[in-house]
Structures are given as structure tokens and as C-alpha cells.
Amino acid sequence: MARVLEGVRVVDLSASTGAAWCSRLLADYGADVVVVEPLGGHPLRAIGPFTDAGDSIPAAYLLANKRSVTLDLDDANARATAAALCRRADIVVSSHAPSRLAAWGLDYATLATPTLVMVHVTPHGMTGDLAEVPGNDLTDAARSGWASINGSQEREPLKPSGWQPSMCAGTVAYAGAVAALRWRDGHPGEGQEVDVSEVEVMAAAFAPALLRSVYAGKAQGRRDPTDHLAGPVPVQDGYFALTISRAHFWRDAMNLLGLPDLAEDPRWGASFYRQAHKDEYVGRVTEAMSQWTKMDLFDELAVRRVVAGPVLTMEELRGVEHLRERDFWRKPADQPDGPEYPGPALRMNGTPASLDRRPPRPGEHTAEVLDTVGGAS
């Protein structure tokens, strides 16, 4: 079946999670992605957890569906080869600071290819006072405001779990790359740079909390530890998240939990009233929920159209039949006996994503790829 980015050539010069996720998405939807790794391998290959064979699991996920070339970009000949690869590409993905790209002669101005789309995924963007300043998911969360509302009031601020800033920025970069290609299709010869700042991506996603604070005249804080319904609540076999955003959600949930006085008193239907009087009901609701198993409670609330969800463990997530039915878990086409990968990130019925290649070994495709440009490492 055809794929939406079939025929698009991508060179990934990056060394970061966010940029690697961007190029992985491009590969999943049909682009031919060549990742340029240093002689010691992509930095992701040194990040755990690791398989029993010593291979990085994050690298396996983020480098899958790509071909690998190893080049020492501190060597002039290798830089010339990398530049030749980039000039043949439709898209170049980078995570390097402006000065590093300029020193290598791999910045957008030097490559000087009118049709080229160059996508940058960096902590603070390619312009401004912080363009050269390094960062990571922790500093992204701190500088974007996310840490200020994440966690509990009596504890220190927390960054989002996992690599959320990186993955969000990579997704935005993918969208930017596709948008730039769409523009170029309608305006031949008009490539452009796509500049994605991880901090700005997270700050934009933080905007509702920021605006809420502005309009309320009081900065939104972290979770009140006495409000057990502001986060997952303990139940018999784990934890459960109960979202009460509408009056009928509250009424139906309280009736199910055997608390009819809370369900039928119209005062409790207003979220501002519940927030102001939470001490009067939180303990009772928490106690009622503790009598349920998480899947039984989810099934009953789902029938009543109440937004809620069980907190699933990793093993429970793998066993969810809904995800199996939607073909969420996939194996690389060239490694059918290998591990399953989560995905795809989005679905297109006419040009779907596909996982064709297992993660490459460092430099596995160097000769194959460089033969197309007459280069040598």
C-alpha cells in the first residue's frame, strides 16, 4: 500500500531524542531516512534501559525504520560527504546549535539548496540569547512552566514523566516538516527552515494553565495533597482516575458509588462549589472508590458515559484487547520474530504507517548509501 511520504529523502544529523522521534515519524509514513551517526554510534545507543544483549531499548525504538551511516564530522572529507547527502535530501533533521552547524558547514545557508527543508529541534530554538545554551527534558519542563504545576504542593516541582518534552517537540517538528513540504509542492523551489524549540512547545502546551492563572489573578499551583480526587485514587487492585468536569458526570458517578445525597443535591453539580467544599466529600468518595476493582469501576462508569480510567501497569497495557484489535503493537517487517513496538502515532486509512526496518547497526548502510553520492567516509 502506498505511503504518504513515499519518495521523500531525509538525512538525520541529530543527536537528540526529539529530533530522532521526528525522523522516526517521517520514516513510518514512507520517507527514506538515513541517520548519520558518529563513529562511536548515536548518543541514544548509550542510554538505558538495555536488553540482555546490551542494546539500548530507547535507541531501538527511535532509530527503527532508518538506515545508518557512520561519519566523523570532525573530519573534512566526512563533512563534505555529509553535505553531499544533505544536498540530495528533501529534509534534513538536526538538533545541533547554530555554531556547531556553521563550523561543520552544514547550516542551512551553507547548504544553499533552494528546495531543502531543514528541521531543527533544539532546547531553545536557533535564534535569540539562549540559542547556544544546552538543555534536556528536565530543563525544558522547568523553563516552560510545566514543573510549576506538576506534582504535589508539599513536594518539589516535578518534570513530566519519561521524555515528554522531547517527544512532543519531535511530533511538532514532524508536523512542521510535512507542512513545509506541502508549501514547497505548491511553490516549487521554496524550501525553508523549521525551527522547533522544545521549551516553546511545552510552554504552548502549558498555555491553558497560564491563561487560567492570568484570568483568576492567582498562579495555578501543584496538586493539593488533601484533594484525593485531583489525582489517581487507590482502589482494591491499584489506582483509578475519576474526572468530574460536568454536573451529570458527578451525579451518575456518585449514584454508582452509593452516595445519593451527593448525587442529587444540585449544589454539588457546580465544580466551583465542589472545589470550595472538597473537605466535605473527598474522604467519603475516596472510601467508596476503595471498595471497587479498577476494571469493574471503569466498566460501570463507561456504561454511564462518565469520563474515567484505570491506571494500567505496563503489563496490563500490553494485554488491552482494544489496542490489539487496532493493530497498535507491531513488529518490523524484516524482523518478524523480534520484539513488538508500540505505535503508530496516528492512522491514515489510505496511506498508513508501516514499520519496515529493524533498528540498524551503527554504520550498517554506509557503503550502500554513500554509493549513491559517490562519497566515502
Dihedral (Cα; 138, 140, 142, 145), 10-degree rounding = -140
9-206+325-370 and 233-310: identical CATH topology:
no
Residue that is written with C-alpha cell 562511536 in the block: 40
Q: Which fold has domain 9-206+325-370?
A: Rossmann fold (3.40.50)
Architecture of domain 233-310: 2-Layer Sandwich (3.30)
**Confidence category of residue 94, pLDDT binned at 50, 70, 90:** very high
Instruction: Give the highest mean pLDDT range of 57-66, 212-221, 335-344.
Output: 57-66
- CA dist., res. 331 & res. 340, Å (int): 5
d(CA 291, CA 222) in angstroms, rounded, equals 28
- Which of 119-123, 269-273, 371-375 has the weakest average pLDDT? 371-375
Residues 156 and 227: their CA atoms lie apart, in Å, by: 17
Report percent pLDDT > 70 for the chain: 97
CA 6, 9, 14, 19 torsion: positive or negative? negative
Name residue 52's amino acid.
D
- Give the pairing of strands 238-242 and 308-310: antiparallel
Q: Mind listing the pLDDT tens digit for each residue in 2-12?
A: 889 999 999 99
Q: What ranges do the domains of the chain cover?
A: 9-206+325-370, 233-310
Rg for the chain (alpha carbons), in Å? 25
From the list 45, 47, 10, the residue with the least C-alpha distance to 25 is 10
- Give the three-class secondary structure for 319: coil
pLDDT beyond 90 at 58: yes
**Within 10 Å of residue 112's Cβ, how many Cβ atoms?**
9
CB-based contact 91:117 (threshold 8 Å): yes
Whose CA is closest to 20, among 82, 131, 94, 85? 94
CA distance 86 to 74: 17
Locus of grid cell 476493582: 293
- Is residue 105 predicted with pLDDT exceeding 70? yes
What would the pLDDT profile of 301-328 be if each residue is shown by its tens digit? 999 999 899 999 999 999 999 999 999 9
Letter for the amino acid at 261? Answer: D
In terms of DSSP H, where are the helices of 35-116?
A: 57-63, 76-88, 98-104, 108-111
Q: Is 268's pLDDT higher than 70?
A: yes
**Helical ranges in the chain per DSSP H:** 17-28, 57-63, 76-88, 98-104, 108-111, 137-144, 146-149, 164-186, 198-216, 247-256, 260-264, 271-276, 282-289, 294-303, 314-318, 321-325, 366-370
pLDDT for res 377: 41
Residue given cell 467508596 in the structure block: 288
15-39 pLDDT, tens digit per residue, is 999 999 999 999 999 999 999 999 9
pLDDT given for residue 225 in this prediction? 65
pLDDT at 152 (0 to 100): 78
Q: How far is the CA of 54 from the CAs of 24, 50, 66, 234, 324, in angstroms?
A: 22, 5, 20, 37, 29
How deeply is 202 buried, as exposed, middle or buried, from its count of CB atoms within 10 A (0-12, 13-18, 19+)? buried
